[in-house]
Amino acid sequence: MTPRAPATGAPGRWATPVALTIAGSDSGGGAGIQADLKTFQALGVYGASVITAVTAQNTLGVRAVHEIPTDVIAPQIDAVAEDLGVDGAKTGMLSSAAIVATVGDRVRRWGLQRVLVVDPVMVAKSGDRLLREDAVQALIHELLPLAEVLTPNLPEAEVLVGRTIGTEAEVRRAARDILELGPRAVIIKGGHRSGDAVDLLFDGNRFHAFSARRVETRNTHGTGCTFSAAIAAGLARGLDVVEAVGAAKAYLTAAIERAVPLGHGHGPVAHDWPLSRAPLEREGRA
Ligand code: PXL
């Protein structure tokens, strides 16, 4: 089929901006595609989804992974871009080098670079691998240069720069080095460090620190997915990167604070808090 007009960056085309997630399915509903769609809904953008892999998973871990064939991934992206258009997008679990290459090809074909958030997902909270070892170089060379914003956590940033990162100065040096790999901005997340959760954004000119009080909780499954989806939602609404990251941080922090126990492992965050005050009211805290 011949594609119709390329479809990005046309705010106002529909009454609701369209955000697209290209990611893996989490049957437990707390991470991946499911977290992304809940985040899009909560933040008032229309959510579309391209599934790259199906995981059999709950709050305790991943039991099985089925990669979707690339000849079913590319048409999913084409179908959404051609008809709905894409005002903001994110990538999450990409699993293999072939999937990374397919997604990179489609991002270029549809000109999604200016609205693309790349979450360099490598390992799940449970420790299970979500990106094959031999796909890391593909991610670095084929997808990072296409990203408007890259959102590594500390272990992912360490893989990208090939050394350990401990001090604040090392985080800043890593951000500079990661920008050399091609993304227009990088935000190194502070969730894996101690003390306040400080995320550091570098856009080539300035550093911006986004700080939130650390919430002591087990319910952190899907936080990375939720954060990158919230940034994509902000870009879809026409926010610039600094505004989108600030809004995403506020949304995620409140969602972590409002999480209620669900499952026997790392529970999900409360994606729906802007739509429902129920969790706080149940606890008599609202
Ligand atoms: O948070 C990374 C991630 C991404 N995608 C899927 C996941 C997870 C973490 O569990 O399950 C499908």
- The residue whose CB lies within 8 Å of the most ligand 1 atoms, and thus the one to mutate among 49, 192, 225, is 225
The predicted pLDDT at position 25 comes to 98
Tens digit of pLDDT for each residue in 179-216? Answer: 999 999 999 999 777 778 899 999 999 999 999 888 88
The predicted pLDDT at position 149 comes to 98
121 lines ligand 1 (CB under 6 A): yes
Which one, of 83, 92, 3, lies nearest residue 46 by Cα? 83
Q: Which residue type occupies 44?
A: G
User: Does pLDDT of 159 surpass 50?
Assistant: yes
Region 96-107: what's the mean pLDDT? Answer: 98
Measured CA to CA, the distance from residue 33 to residue 53 in angstroms comes to 10
CA of residue 37 to ligand 1 center, whole Å: 13
Helix (H) or strand (E) holding 55: strand 46-57
Which one, of 257, 260, 279, 278, lies nearest residue 268 by Cα? 260
The predicted pLDDT at position 6 comes to 46
Cα angle 235-172-135, degrees, rounded to a multiple of 5: 65
User: Does pLDDT of 85 surpass 70?
Assistant: yes
124 lines ligand 1 (CB under 6 A): yes
pLDDT confidence band for 21 (50 / 70 / 90) = very high
Measured CA to CA, the distance from residue 104 to residue 145 in angstroms comes to 9
User: Does pLDDT of 277 surpass 80?
Assistant: no
More confident residue, 255 or 283: 255
CA of residue 158 to ligand 1 center, whole Å: 19
Q: What percentage of the chain reaches a pLDDT higher than 70?
A: 92
Catalytic residue among 30, 190, 224, 267: 224
Lowest mean pLDDT among 6-20, 22-36, 120-134: 6-20
| pTM of the entire predicted model | 0.93
Region 46-65: what's the mean pLDDT? Answer: 97
